Chains A and B, each alone.
Chain A
Amino acid sequence: MAEAATATGTAGAPDKSRRQRPAEFNVFIGLILIALVFEVLGWIFQGQSFLFNFQRLSIMVLQVSIVGIIAVGVTQVIITGGIDLSSGSLVGATAMIAMSLAQVSTHERAVFPALTDLPVIIPVAAGLICGLAAGLVNGALIAYTKIPPFIATLGMMVTARGFSKWYTKGQPISFPTEGFASIGAGMNPVLIFIIVAALFTLILRFTVYGRRTYAIGSNEQAARVSGINVEHHLMLVYAIAGGLAALAGIVLAARGLTAQAGAGVMYELDAIAMAVIGGTSLSGGRGSIIGTTLGMLIFGVIISGFTFLRLDAYYQEMIKGAIIVIAVVLDVYRQRMRGRS
C-alpha cells in the first residue's frame, strides 16, 4: 500500500492515438471524382463542359436543396442511432397545412374561405408547429415506449400521408399569396438550405445539444449513467427533424405554388441516403452536416449528370439505389476496419 502511487500512462500500447482523416474528406474526393466522370463524358458525348456552366450548377443545387433541408434533420436523428422515415410524409402534410392558410382571397374555392390573405408568418408558423409536433410524437414514442425508431416513424409516415389525403379529400391546394410564394422563389430554397445547414453545423459542433447527440448515438447507456436525460434529448432531436421536414414542405409548396397530398413521396429515403453517403454512420455516433451537404451534392451531380447526358431517368433511380448500397457497405467496412463495434 505504501508503494509509489505514480502510474505512467499506457506504455506498450500500440500507437492507435493518431487522429484519423475526417470521413468528409473521402466523401469530398468521391464528389470530385463523380463530377469529373461526367465532365469527361460531357466532352465525349455532348461536346461541352458539364461543370463550367453556371446555370446547370444552380439548377443542380436547387433540385436537391429542399431534400437537403430534410437531410439536415435526418442526419441528427441518425447520429443518435435512430432513423426517421416520416420526413417525406411530413413534407406533404405540412405543405398542405401551410398552403391552406396561405391562399389568396380572390381564389374561389379556398380551403378556408375565411382565412385568406393572411400574413406569411401564419402559414409558415402553422406548418412548422405541426412538423415539430409530429416530430415530438415520434421522439416520445421512441424514448418512452422503446419501440424501434424504424417502426415509430413508419407509423408516422403512413399516418401523415393519410392526413394529407384526408385534408382536402385528395384535392391539390393552389393560389398562394405573393408573400408565401416568395419563400420558394429564385434561389431562396438554396439560401434557406445554407442557413439551416450552417446553423446546425455550429449547433452540433459547439453546443451541449450537439455533444449529447453524438454521445447518445455513441453509447446510449453511457449517456444515461452520465446523467443525460436521454428521453428528453431524443424528443428534441426528432422534433427538430420534424420541424426541418416542415420547413422543406413549406419551401416546396411555395416553390411549386401548389401543395398536393403526394408531395414529398420518397424524400425520406433520399434524405437518409444523402446523410449516409456523406459519412453518417447508421449505427450512430458519427456524421456531420458538412458530410450530408457533400452527400446532397453527389445526388445533385448524378441527377443533373444523367439529364445532361440525356440518359433515361429510369437509370438515375437504379444508379441512386446502387450508390446508397455502396455507401452503407463502405460504412460497415469502415467500422470493421476499426476493429471495434
Chain B
Amino acid sequence: MSADDRKIILRTEALTKHYGGVHALEAADFILRDGEHVAIVGDNGAGKSTFVRQITGVEQPTSGKIFFDGQEVSFKNPIEARDHGIETVFQNLALADDLDVPSNLFLGREETYFNLGPFSILNERSMTQKAVGALQTTGVKIPDVKNKIRNMSGGQRQCVAISRAATFASKLIIMDEPTAALGVQETAQVENIIRGLKKRGIPLILISHNLRQVLDLVDKVWVWRRGRIVGAVDRDKTDGNEIVSLITGVKSGIDGEAAFV
C-alpha cells in the first residue's frame, strides 16, 4: 500500500504509564504517518487520554520510547511538545474564559513590541489581525473576536480551541473528544474543520467515542482496551461492528481478521 511509504511522523515503542499500581498504559506501539488522520477509540479507562498525555508532555511515561519526526523525544512539558509542532485540543478546552479570542489564541506565546520580560508590551493589533486570519483559514466565523470566551456558545468555544491548534500546529494535531459536548449542528462544523485539516495535509489524532464520526473522518482506527492497543484497522476495510468487537474484547485484532499494522 502506498500509504506505508509516507514518512513516519510519530512512533511510540512499548510506551507504558503506571499511576502507582494502576497500569493505565501498557506497551503501546503506535505509528502515525505524514498526512494521515487516525482515530483512537476505546472504552472509558482504556488508556486513550493517558496516551495523549504522554506524547504531549503533560505527563512523562513510566517507560518506553517516543519518536517524533525522525528523532527520539522526551517532552518535559507541553511547551516542548508545542515547540516541536504538536498542538493539542484538550477535552476541557483549555481556554481562558475571561479573555477574548486573540488573547486565547496567543496565550503563552503573546506577540510583543519589545522584550521587557514579563512586562513586555503586547502587540494587540498584530495578534488580532492574525487571529481573524486564523479563524478564516479554519473556516470559523466568530462575530466579534474581541468578545470574551465566557460569552460564547459551546460550539464557538470549540471552534476557537481548534483554530488555535490548527494555526500553530506545523506537524501534528491531537484532539481529545472535540465534539463530546456539542449539538448536532456544531458537531458538523467541527467535523468540517477537521476535513479542512485533512486537505491541508496536517496529520491528526482524533480521540472519540462517536464511531459514526470516526469512520466518517479518519483513515485508520486504533482500538484500545484496558491500557493496551488491541487493533488498528483501516477505515475502508472495517465497519462499526468490528470496531465494537475490538473495543469490548469480543475479538482481538492481533489474532483475528482485522488488518493489524
Interface residues in chain A, defined as those with a beta carbon under 8 Å from any beta carbon in chain B: 1, 3-14, 16-20, 203, 206-209, 211-212, 214-215, 217-219, 221-228, 233, 236, 285-286, 338, 340
Q: Does B237 contact A (CB under 8 A)?
A: no
A239 to chain B, nearest CB (A): 11
What residues of B have a CB within 8 angstroms of the CB of A203 in the complex?
119
What residues of B have a CB within 8 angstroms of the CB of A228 in the complex?
107-108
Is the pair A214, B153 in contact by a Cβ cutoff of 8 Å?
Answer: no
Number of interface residues of B (CB under 8 A): 56
Query: Would you list which residues of chain B between 151 and 169 have a CB under 8 Å from chain A?
Result: 151-153, 155-156, 159
Query: Would you list which residues of chain B between 162 and 204 have a CB under 8 Å from chain A?
Result: 185-186, 189-190, 192-193, 195-196, 198-199
Q: Once the chains are docked, how many angstroms separate the CA of A11 from the CA of B184?
A: 12
Q: Does B142 contact A (CB under 8 A)?
A: yes
Is the pair A10, B155 in contact by a Cβ cutoff of 8 Å?
Answer: yes
Is the pair A7, B196 in contact by a Cβ cutoff of 8 Å?
Answer: yes
User: Given that A5-B199, A10-B189, A219-B97 are known contacts, is A211 also in contact with B156, CB under 8 Å in the complex?
Assistant: no
Query: Would you list which residues of chain B between 83 and 113 have a CB under 8 Å from chain A?
Result: 88, 90, 92-99, 103, 107-110, 112
Interface string of B9-45 (1 = CB under 8 A from A): 0000000000000000000000000000000000000
Q: Once the chains are docked, how many angstroms separate the CA of A148 from the CA of B93?
A: 25
Q: Does B120 contact A (CB under 8 A)?
A: yes
User: Given that A206-B121, A207-B119 are known contacts, is A16 also in contact with B153, CB under 8 Å in the complex?
Assistant: yes
Q: Does B132 contact A (CB under 8 A)?
A: no
Is the pair A217, B98 in contact by a Cβ cutoff of 8 Å?
Answer: yes
Is the pair A16, B152 in contact by a Cβ cutoff of 8 Å?
Answer: yes
What residues of A have a CB within 8 angstroms of the CB of B193 in the complex?
5, 7
What residues of A have a CB within 8 angstroms of the CB of B143 in the complex?
9, 17
Q: Does B76 contact A (CB under 8 A)?
A: no
Q: Does B140 contact A (CB under 8 A)?
A: yes
What residues of A have a CB within 8 angstroms of the CB of B152 in the complex?
16-17
Is the pair B118, A236 in contact by a Cβ cutoff of 8 Å?
Answer: yes
Chain A residue at smallest Cβ distance from B189: A7
Which of A10, A219, A338 meets B159, CB within 8 Å? A10
Q: Does B79 contact A (CB under 8 A)?
A: yes
B206 to chain A, nearest CB (A): 13
Known: A215-B96, A225-B88. 10 other contacts (CB 8 A): A7-B159, A8-B139, A9-B156, A10-B153, A10-B159, A17-B147, A17-B152, A218-B99, A222-B107, A228-B107
Could you write out 24 A-B pairs with CB less than 8 Å apart?
Answer: A1-B217, A3-B192, A5-B192, A6-B196, A7-B139, A7-B193, A9-B189, A10-B156, A10-B186, A13-B153, A16-B152, A19-B144, A207-B116, A208-B110, A208-B112, A215-B98, A219-B94, A219-B95, A221-B94, A225-B90, A226-B108, A227-B107, A228-B108, A340-B150
Q: Once the chains are docked, how many angstroms separate the CA of A226 from the CA of B156?
A: 19
A144 to chain B, nearest CB (A): 15
Q: Once the chains are docked, how many angstroms separate the CA of A4 from the CA of B109?
A: 32
Chain B residue at smallest Cβ distance from A340: B150
Is the pair B119, A209 in contact by a Cβ cutoff of 8 Å?
Answer: yes
A321 to chain B, nearest CB (A): 28
Is the pair A338, B78 in contact by a Cβ cutoff of 8 Å?
Answer: no
What residues of B have a CB within 8 angstroms of the CB of A206 in the complex?
121-122, 124
B73 to chain A, nearest CB (A): 17
Is the pair A9, B141 in contact by a Cβ cutoff of 8 Å?
Answer: yes
Q: Once the chains are docked, how many angstroms separate the CA of A5 from the CA of B194?
A: 8
Q: Once the chains are docked, how many angstroms separate the CA of A203 from the CA of B117?
A: 12
Chain B residue at smallest Cβ distance from A210: B122
Is the pair B151, A18 in contact by a Cβ cutoff of 8 Å?
Answer: yes
What residues of B have a CB within 8 angstroms of the CB of A285 in the complex?
96-98
Chain B residue at smallest Cβ distance from A219: B96
What residues of B have a CB within 8 angstroms of the CB of A18 in the complex?
151
Is the pair A1, B195 in contact by a Cβ cutoff of 8 Å?
Answer: yes
What residues of A have a CB within 8 angstroms of the CB of B119 in the complex?
203, 207-209
What residues of A have a CB within 8 angstroms of the CB of B148 in the complex?
19
What residues of B have a CB within 8 angstroms of the CB of A3 in the complex?
192, 195
Chain A residue at smallest Cβ distance from B118: A209
B222 to chain A, nearest CB (A): 19
Chain A residue at smallest Cβ distance from B190: A7
Q: Does B225 contact A (CB under 8 A)?
A: no
User: Given that A8-B141, A19-B147, A236-B118 are known contacts, is A214 also in contact with B96, CB under 8 Å in the complex?
Assistant: yes
What residues of A have a CB within 8 angstroms of the CB of B58 in the complex?
225
Q: Once the chains are docked, how many angstroms separate the CA of A3 from the CA of B217?
A: 11
